Amino acid sequence: MYALSGVVACTGPAHAAFTEAEFLDDLPVVLSVSRLSQPVNEAPAAVTVIDRDTIRASGFRDIPDLLRLVPGFSVAYTRDNTWALGYHGMGDAYSRRMQVLVDGRSIYSPHFGEVFWTDLPLSLDDIEQIEVVRGPNAAVHGANAFAAVINILTKTAAQAQGTRVSLQAGEQSARDLTVQHGGGDAALRYRLTASARQHDRFERTVDFKTAHDNGQYFEAGKTYFVNGRADWQLTPDSDLMAQFGLSQGDWRAGRAVVSTLNQDALIEPREQDSSTLFFHAAYNKVESEQREWKIQAYFARNRLDADSRADLTGINPAYGVSLLDQYLLQTRSNIELQVNEQWTPTLRGVWGGELRQETVSSPHYYNTGKTWRGELARVFGNLEWQAHERVLLHAGAMLEHHYFTDFDVSPRLAASFTLAPGHVVRAGVSRALRSPTFFEEHGNQVFYQESGALLDIFTVPSDGLEPERMLSRELAYLGVWGEARLEFDVRLFDDRIDNFIGYERFNFDPTDGVLRVIERKYNNIGKATSRGGEIQLRWRPTEALDVSAQYARVFLDTRTSETVFNDDIPQSAPRNSAGLLARYRLGHGWETSLFVQRSGAMKWLTPGDDTEAFTRVDFRVARRWKWQGYDLDAALVGQNLGDDYQEFRDTNTFSRRVYGSLSLAW
């Protein structure tokens, strides 16, 4: 990856230093920033690339953990099989302010805006690279490409030929089995992946720390999935890609009723049944050296079913027995056209359009059996003009009609100036928006007694929301020193959000026998600002050693009508955070890697807690070798070798843990 990777093709002793020209040729090429293929130093926005060698060197078992390698990102496992992500703050359990794609297929939830990472039918072995656009990119990917864009690019079928079996086992009941097989011929190739996985995220007993925690966080999740991809070369200038994925989760999680403080009760499911499926197809046609077009379509469905029964008579006889049917079904259907054109040697562009329908159904969250539907339409265009041998200009915009917020335009302008070969200064300004989710707009979360009587009203529908709007400005410097074998990326940013969507709280006297203490309603409550800087670098002094490092400093401010957000948002990102990934090749197939992360104290937004500063150290030792015609890869990984630290809540203890892995390929 650029500035955060461990990519060196072979082992061996140090050799003569690269020239800057040779080093520039080695920079990664990205697709996600403008839909145009371009090296990272020519992209109109900051981007970090996590390649498959970096994924292997990190020793991480979960896709969200890889974002710890990106400057400015906060990552935490919450509980109940969900992950929290934040970029420059304002992160919560739903990570609703960033767009997440897999091969261009959007996977964020129209219900909460979250990503269902745990039941995503995708293995780390399937991933070719991850492109993370650091900052808004609505001009290219539309609403919700707000704080950042994460595009996961999977291996083509041709890159996964043969058979590979991978095993992982370790503490916290970690057990993984993945089988991948690829075959076919030059015209039609395919790959299939099947996986079974289980985990227990936390210590089974944690300290009693808050009124809502009984010290019995227990998780025993099992997830099974299968996915497949076929790549068919129809003619020399056209090809067809088709993918599918299915997953099934059998999870034991959640908390029982744990508190009688102020007659407050907490009702959550202990068992969760989750499933996901998707179908995705793309047809690509090269008409000439000047024009290429692609049309793609996909359908995705997520279902969660979680039931709970709680006897609340011990708190108040009037509350009786509560039943919770946390059923949720959501779908997305999408079709998109993209046309890439090269009009002159110095002017090229991309344009296209997209149609999408999203549906959500959940009696518990919306207090109705109705299926909510919404359609959106988009057209976009982006230009790249080499105005001078040292000046590269970018302009683009997205026009879209959203089912909640009507018409909007998201423009971007950027200019890159080459000071000297390998030394580029970039300035950019863009506008982005985040549309409200179905739950923010229509959420009416209620709880009922076994008798059918109303027990609690937790959320009421909004009065109609405006989209959050961001004005983002950045100034960046990208440098390559060939003789020092060093790449350097420095970025200053200023992001200003209007119409921030938060909730207002209304307090009720529960003396009417109904457990109605607080009701929440989403509203546009004010403004928020994020300013600061970030640095990432990559240093490869020898063929054996590869070091990547990153640092971010963030300042947050807010002016809202709700005191809780005024207090929490300025603390929702660590003021200082840093990370390092170093890999050293010992020879004869042996290698070691070291990951170090330092994060300052921060506050996760609802329903998170204040978490203390922590330092995490992971160490990995691995070996690759051949045996009897097989390729073997074995590794031993120790995670968090220092003190325990807290993730998301003050009861979420991440302790030291060790696991081993072994893969066999032929």
Confidence of residue 26 (pLDDT cuts 50, 70, 90): confident
Rounded Cα distance between 477 and 486, Å, is 14
Q: Are 550 and 71 in contact (CB under 8 A)?
A: yes
The burial of 366, by beta-carbon neighbours within 10 Å (0-12 exposed, 13-18 middle, 19 or more buried), is given as: buried
Tally Cβ neighbours within 10 Å of residue 34.
25
pLDDT at residue 206 greater than cutoff 90: no
Q: Find the range with the poorest average confidence among 19-23, 274-278, 381-385.
A: 19-23
Q: Which three-class secondary structure string do you get for 618-636?
A: EEEEEEEEEECCEEEEEEE
pLDDT at residue 80 greater than cutoff 80: no
Give the mean pLDDT of 591-595: 98
pLDDT at residue 651 greater than cutoff 80: no
Helix-, strand-, coil-residue percentages of the chain, each rounded to 5: 10, 60, 35
Instruction: Please tell me the predicted confidence (pLDDT) of residue 33.
Output: 95
Confidence of residue 634 (pLDDT cuts 50, 70, 90): very high
Instruction: Please tell me the predicted confidence (pLDDT) of residue 23.
Output: 59
Instruction: Please tell me the predicted confidence (pLDDT) of residue 3.
Output: 40
Tally Cβ neighbours within 10 Å of residue 225.
23
Nearest Cα to Cα of residue 158 among 140, 124, 127, 183: 183
Instruction: Please tell me the predicted confidence (pLDDT) of residue 450.
Output: 83
- pLDDT tens track for 163-180: 999 999 998 778 899 999
Instruction: Please tell me the predicted confidence (pLDDT) of residue 276.
Output: 96
Q: Are 465 and 442 in contact (CB under 8 A)?
A: no
Give one DSSP letter per residue of 28-44, joined into a string: -EESTTTSS-EEGGGSS
**What integer best gives the mean pLDDT of the chain?**
89
- pLDDT tens track for 471-480: 999 999 999 9
pLDDT at residue 415 greater than cutoff 80: yes
Give the mean pLDDT of 20-29: 70
Rounded to two decimals, the pTM is 0.92
Q: Is the dihedral of CA 134, 417, 479, 427 positive or negative?
A: negative
Give the mean pLDDT of 600-607: 91
Q: Are 497 and 516 in contact (CB under 8 A)?
A: no
Q: Where are the alpha helices (DSSP H) in 106-221?
A: 138-141
Give the mean pLDDT of 634-640: 97
User: Who's near 503: CB < 8 A, 6+ residues apart?
Assistant: 459, 520, 521, 522, 523, 562, 606
User: Who's near 509: CB < 8 A, 6+ residues apart?
Assistant: none
Strands (DSSP E) contained in 90-206 are: 98-102, 105-106, 127-134, 148-154, 162-170, 174-184, 188-199
The burial of 288, by beta-carbon neighbours within 10 Å (0-12 exposed, 13-18 middle, 19 or more buried), is given as: exposed
Assigned token pair, 655:
């302790």
User: Who's near 9: CB < 8 A, 6+ residues apart?
Assistant: none
Nearest Cα to Cα of residue 405 among 430, 437, 365, 373: 437
pLDDT at residue 310 greater than cutoff 90: no
Q: How far is CA 523 from the centre of its chain?
A: 25
pLDDT at residue 538 greater than cutoff 70: yes
Instruction: Please tell me the predicted confidence (pLDDT) of residue 515.
Output: 56
The neighbouring-strand residues paired with 307 are 325
Give the mean pLDDT of 187-208: 77
Give the mean pLDDT of 231-258: 84
- pLDDT tens track for 440-452: 999 999 888 888 8
Q: Are 416 and 408 in contact (CB under 8 A)?
A: no
- CA–CA distances in Å: residue 219 to residues 74, 166, 272, 653: 22, 24, 11, 13
Give the mean pLDDT of 599-611: 91
Q: Are 665 and 179 in contact (CB under 8 A)?
A: no
Percent of the chain with pLDDT over 70: 89
| Number of separate helices (H) and strands (E) present in the chain | 6, 39
Rounded Cα distance between 154 and 127, Å, is 4
Confidence of residue 200 (pLDDT cuts 50, 70, 90): confident
Q: Find the range with the poorest average confidence among 241-250, 382-391, 650-659.
A: 650-659
**Up-side HSE of residue 298: CA atoms within 13 Å toward CB?**
23
Assigned token pair, 193:
């992946």
Percent of the chain with pLDDT over 90: 73
Confidence of residue 590 (pLDDT cuts 50, 70, 90): very high
pLDDT at residue 210 greater than cutoff 80: no
Rounded Cα distance between 323 and 187, Å, is 55
Give the mean pLDDT of 195-215: 58
Q: Find the range with the poorest average confidence among 400-404, 517-521, 587-591.
A: 517-521
pLDDT at residue 22 greater than cutoff 90: no
Confidence of residue 256 (pLDDT cuts 50, 70, 90): very low
Please give the span between the terminal C-alpha atoms of the chain, in angstroms, as a whole number.
Answer: 27
- CA–CA distances in Å: residue 364 to residues 324, 446, 461: 8, 6, 13
Rounded Cα distance between 289 and 269, Å, is 57
| Domains defined along the chain, listed by start | 20-665 (2.40.170.20)
Rounded Cα distance between 62 and 120, Å, is 11
Q: Are 523 and 504 in contact (CB under 8 A)?
A: yes
